[in-house]
Amino acid sequence: MIFPQSIRAKDICILLVNDDHVCCNIVSNMLDHCRYEVFSYEKEMDALSIIREKKDTLEIILTNVHRTYAKKYEIIEHIEKEFKLQIILMSPDVSLSEGGGNGVTVYILKSLSVKEVNNLWANAMAQEKSKREISSSSGKSGDKRKRETDEENGNVEKKRRIVWTKEMHQKFLDAIDQLRNDKVVPKKIAELMNVPGLTRENVASHLQKYRLCMKRAQGMFTSSSYDFTDPFNLNPSQANSQESHWNPFPFQIRSRNTTPSLFSLSCYESRLRTFPNMPLLSKIQFKPDRSFRVCGNEKQNILLSIEDNNRICSDSSFAGFRLANDGKSIQFGQNGHFDDGSVNKSYIQQDDFCPEMGNDDSTLGPERDDWMSSVASLLGVDDNLPSILTPQQPPTPSHQNKVVATTMTQPPPSVGLQWSDWADPPGYSPQQPPPPPGNEVNDNFEIFSDFISTGLCELGKGMDENGVDATGICGFDDLLFNNQDLT
DNA sequence: GCGCCAATAT
DNA sequence: AATATTGGCG
């Protein structure tokens, strides 16, 4: 763990010692909004050494001392004694606020609400102000020296680092959109955005990065240009608009999620954000006794495959989708086996839908419904997916040893997505992978050999409700694409 | 002076 | 990591 080197004196410098990310986020957002700096740190002991190192710039310690941490009082007292810093303690543990913990200025009981942070912040501001007034009136001479180097007004107002909030970025995008026929240049964008204090340089810098992202994103997909109107990945997000940091890379996702019991496919979410105006596919859930793999090929497409009982690519376990090489279509399908042993490699059929989702072929369980509506939302169609998914020509066992690729009906053209089967993109020649040891037939390899290569990654580990180890979900941050770590 | 880009700084 | 700054060039 490396503490940010950029730590420096601002109006107030706070060290946030926290292992609770929700908490961290709330606080961070608040502080960002107030233009204060906050640094989070996870390990108490590490934090202590940081405090020692940075004590001259730190003014408040905001800490979430975990109740299981044996030395919690020690730390608090230590901070108090050694550094004479304000301590704000957050804890879910009521008893902490009663006994022990000398030197704690404010207690916050978790979980934390925005309102509480507001109050806290007002409090901290007030304290700081009075402290400042005192110190500036008592140590005038020292201060003056500094002031004088600032020349005259003493109000050079160091250029405020602008924060590209989602709103601002949206304005930025809107401006570009308005300029669609004109030349898109920083000056005009800045004018159209009409944000006070925003300079041409600011916009130029942002534009530079925007274009860079565009280029990278384009490169992700094959040849043809894909219209990324939102390479910054902001539009479809319902996230807190106050959030100041956005993810410049379209396909990154949040951190690893190892929810036990039921996994939700967060990686899909981020994937789908590459499609403007498309609703997020937020929930596809799998039973925990299945394992997942996310594979990437050199074209940066991804898909999700499901292992059956920890055996890779066994009988009838595949579900997933991938971006077609036109960059505008999504292909998805399911591997199905017929009674006579023939394999249907690429269709989605209503009646034996998603056995790997934990449903019996005949069952229309809630999970299936979830899945269906997820796919529906993925495709931007209404929830009546079954009618869409009904194959035009239902595959029958008579298709012996033949790949059945059922073409689906078209979704509304507005979405611009095409149903298609798993056919390889033109000009694509898959490499024959070595047959996996012990597996006579490996249908998934046959179909998806292009995906299953060096980019393959094992997903996070999780436990199911019986304590059985199950492989969970991963994010793109675990993936290597083109041998490049994208994170 | 502007816009673009890459490199570099904060 | 995100943004700013700078310098070179058209």
- A212 CA – B3 C1', rounded, Å: 16
For the segment A120-160, what is each residue's pLDDT rounded down to a tens digit? 555 544 444 444 444 444 433 333 333 333 333 334 444 56
Handedness of CA A122, A126, A131, A137 (dihedral sign): positive
**In the predicted model, what is the mean pLDDT of residues A299-320?**
29
Classified as helix, coil or strand, A109 is strand
Rounded Cα distance, A247 and A210, in Å: 12
Chain A residues 345-384, Cβ below 7 A from strand B: none
Strand B nucleotides within 7 Å of a protein CB:
2-7
Task: Note the pLDDT of residue A132.
Answer: 46
Q: pLDDT-derived band of residue A12, with 50, 70 and 90 as boundaries?
A: very low
Residues in contact with A166: Cβ distance below 8 Å, sequence separation at least 6, in sequence order: A234, A237, A239, A241, A243, A246
- Which residues numbered 205-264 in chain A sit less than 7 A from strand B, measured from CB? 207-208, 211-212
Which residues have Cβ atoms closer than 7 angstroms to strand C?
A 6, 159, 161-164, 201-202, 204-206, 208-209, 244-248, 487
Model confidence pLDDT, tens digit, residues A63-98 = 655 444 455 556 666 666 666 665 665 554 444 444
A120 backbone dihedrals φ, ψ, rounded to 5°: -55, -45
Peptide bond preceding A111 in cis form (omega within 30 of 0): yes
Query: What's the CA–C1' distance between A199 and B7, in Å?
Result: 22
For residue A329, the SS3 value is coil
Hey, what long-range contacts does A265-272 have (CB within 8 A, 24 or more apart)? A265/A304, A265/A473, A266/A473, A266/A475, A267/A294, A267/A302, A267/A304, A267/A473, A267/A474, A267/A475, A267/A476, A268/A304, A268/A378, A270/A233, A270/A475, A270/A476, A271/A302, A271/A323, A272/A236, A272/A378
Instruction: Read off φ and ψ for residue A432, nearest 5 degrees.
Output: -75, 120
Given this model, what pLDDT does residue A85 score?
A: 61
* Burial call A196-215: b when 16+ CB within 10 Å, e when fewer: eebeeebbeebbeebeebbe
pLDDT digits (tens, 9 = 90+) for A106-117: 554 443 444 444
A232 closest-nt by C1' vs CA: C2
**What is the tens place of the pLDDT at every residue in A227-261?**
223 222 223 332 332 222 222 222 222 222 222 21
Question: Cα–Cα distances in Å, from A385 out to A332, A347, A349, A380?
Answer: 14, 14, 11, 10
CB A232, CB A249: distance < 8 Å: no
